[in-house]
Structure formats: C-alpha cells, structure tokens
Structure 1
Amino acid sequence: MPLTPLDIHNKEFGRSFRGYDEDEVNEFLDLVIKDYEALIRENKELQNQALALQEKLNHFSNIEETLSKTIIVAQEAADEVKNNAKKEAQLIVKEAEKNADRIINESLSKSRKVSLEVDELKKQASIYRARFRTLVEAQLDLLGQEGWDTLDAGPAAGAGELSRG
C-alpha cells in the first residue's frame, strides 16, 4: 500500500538518547509532506491528462477508422460508377452500330428498289418509244399509200361543183 501524506504526518519516531532534534525532524517531515502532496496532485493531474488524451486518441482513432471505411466505400462506389459507365458506353456503341447497320441496310434496300424502278422505267420508255415509232411508221406508210391522192382532189373538186349549182 502506497505511503500517503497522512501516514508521513502521523509517523512518530521513538526517542532515544542522543537522537535527532525533534523540531528539525518535524520541519523536514512537513517539507516532505508538502512535496509529497504536490507530487500526488501532479500525478493525479497527469493521470487525468493521460486519460483525456487517451479518450481523444480513441476518438481520433475512431474517426480515422470511419474515414478509412468511408474512403474504401467511396472508392468502391467510384469503381462501380466507372464500370457502369463503361458498360453503358459499350451498350450505346453497340446500339449505335446496330442503328448504323440498319440504316445502311435500309439505304441499300431503297437503293436497290430505286434501281429496279429506274430499270423498269427505262424498259417502259423503250417499249413506249418502240410502239410510238411503230405507230408513226404505220401512219407514214398509210400516208404514203395511193388512195390519199384521190382524196385530196376529190373533196376540193366536189366542193367547187356544189358552189356552181
């Protein structure tokens, strides 16, 4: 059990012949008590400070641990967002490629259709020209026949005779 200032104060020494001066011993004991009490107070204050510092250390350790966990969670969230963005970008690119392929295929299909229509129109124009040529040639042949000469003279002569009469 540690020595207390009260123990020092209550300590009594036995008397002997040729012993120490009692007043000097008491004065010295008073100084020892005073210094011992100061040391005890200082020790108590230091223990309180150590306890307060330990509480702060624990608090900051908890904050540090929380921050570490938060940083890890934030990093994981950032990685997840990054991965999701990459996946979404890949999906967008694939969708754009599909749309581009579809547009190209539709354009090729329309181009083929227009080409077929142009070919069909060329055929129809050629057929029309051939029919028209045949018609014109037939009309020219008809105009070239001999019966037209008599028709030219006939109606004009008949009209003249009618007017005399």
Structure 2
Amino acid sequence: MVLSPQDIHNKEFSTKLRGYNIDEVNDFLDQIIKDYQIVLQENKDLSGQLAESKDKLSYFNDLKDSLNQSILVAQEAADKVKTNSKKEAEITNREAQKKADDILNAADEKANNILEEASRRAKKLAIETDDLRKNTRVFRQRLQVMLESQLEVIKGSDWDHLVEETPTTTYEDIEKVVGDLDNTSNSGVESRTKQDNHTDVVEDAVNVDDPNETVVYYPDDANK
C-alpha cells in the first residue's frame, strides 16, 4: 500500500533509551512529507499529461485513419474521373473523326460531281464546236461553189452575147440566160454538197485509223 503524506505525518515511533532525537526525526519527516507531496503532485501532473497525450494520440490516430480513408476515397474518385475523362475523350475523338470523314466524303462527292459536270459540258462544247466547224466548212464550200459557178456563167459566151449591143438581143434571150444561170448554180451547189459529205465521211474514217488523232463520235454518225 502506498503511503500518503498524512500517513507519514501520523506515524509515531516508540522511544527507547539512547534513541533518536524526536525533534530531528519530526523535522526530517516534515521535510519528507513536503517532498513527497511535491512528488505526488508531479506524478499527478504527469499522469494528467500522459492521459491528455493518450487522448491526443488517439485523436491523431483516428484522424490518420480518417485521412487515409479520405485519401483512398479521393484516389478512387480520381481514378473514376480519369477513366471517365478517357472514355469521353475517346468518344469525342471518334465523333470528331466521324464528322471529319463525313465532311471529306461530302467534299469528295461534290468535287466529283463538279468534275463530272465540267467534263460533260466540255464534251458537249467540243461536240458543238466541231459541229459548228463542220457547218462553217460546208457553208464555205457551198458559197465557194456557188460563186465559182456564177463566175463561170458570167464568163460564158452567153453573157458576152447578151451584153453585145446588137439589135438581135431580145427579152426572151436575156430571160433564158438568167434561167440557165440559176439552174447551173443550183446543180453545182447540190453536186458539190454531195461531194463534201462524202469527203467528211472519208476524213472521219481516216481520223479513226490514226492513233494520234482525237476521235469524237456524234449521235447522228452512230445512228447511220
């Protein structure tokens, strides 16, 4: 059993012959009581500090566990956010790629349509140009034939006879010469036109056999 200061104070000793001095013993016991009270108070204070430290230690241990749990939760949340962000980025990337592909496909289709339309118009223009060139050549040939025929008629002896100042020239003679001029012109134009058409067919045949020449097929020629 632990002695208290009161126990020390109430302690009584028996006296014997030639024993210790009672006053000195009492003074020493008083000093022991004081020192013992100080030690007990320090022990009490230390016990209180120890209890407080234990409480703080328990609090910090609980806080540490809570922080560790919070860190785990935060880590899990961060992992989920990272995973979701990665999935959303992949989805966004796929959607952007799809939109880009759609835009490129639409642009390619539009460009192809424009090229096809331009090619069709170029072919049509080439055909029309070639037709115009042929028609112009035919017109030129016909005009040349007509002028040559008229010139030949004008240079003929009939016109010489017609313009002579003789009393034998009559209205019937002039009408006959003019009628012959018309008949000669018409027959010359028709004959030269047939010859020109035959020449065009021959030229087309020659162009087909020539590998260096560009051949244009016309619907009218194909039907023939």
Question: How many aligned residue pairs are there?
Answer: 151
CA distance, structure 1, for counterparts of residue 28 and residue 122 of structure 2: 136
- Structure 2 unaligned blocks of 5 or more: 155-224
- Structure 1 unaligned blocks of 5 or more: 154-165
Opposite residue 69 of structure 2, the aligned amino acid is K
Runs of 4+ in 1 over 6 A off after TM superposition: none
Tell me the residue number matched to 1:149: 150
Question: Whose helix proportion is higher, 1 or 2?
Answer: 1
CA distance, structure 2, for counterparts of residue 97 and residue 146 of structure 1: 72
Cα distance, 1:141 vs. partner?
Answer: 4.1
CA distance, structure 1, for counterparts of residue 39 and residue 115 of structure 2: 110
CA distance, structure 2, for counterparts of residue 138 and residue 86 of structure 1: 76
After superposition, where does 1:103-142 map in structure 2 within 5 Å?
103-142=103-142
1:27 aligns with 2:27: yes
Cα distance, 1:123 vs. partner?
Answer: 2.0
Cα distance, 1:5 vs. partner?
Answer: 1.0
Q: Quick check: which has more Rg, 1 or 2? A: 2
Report % sequence identity: 40
1:67-125 deviations in Å (ceiling 9; x for gaps): 33333333333333333332233223222221222222122212221221122112211
Relative to 1, partners in 2 of residues 1:41 and 1:146: Cα closer, same or farther, differing over 3 Å? closer
CA distance, structure 1, for counterparts of residue 114 and residue 104 of structure 2: 15
Tell me the residue number matched to 2:80: 80
Opposite residue 6 of structure 2, the aligned amino acid is L
CA distance, structure 2, for counterparts of residue 60 and residue 29 of structure 1: 45
- Across the aligned residues of Structure 1 and Structure 2, the Cα RMSD in angstroms comes to 2.7
Opposite residue 10 of structure 1, the aligned amino acid is N
1:14-66 deviations in Å (ceiling 9; x for gaps): 34455443323322322222221111111111111112222222333333333
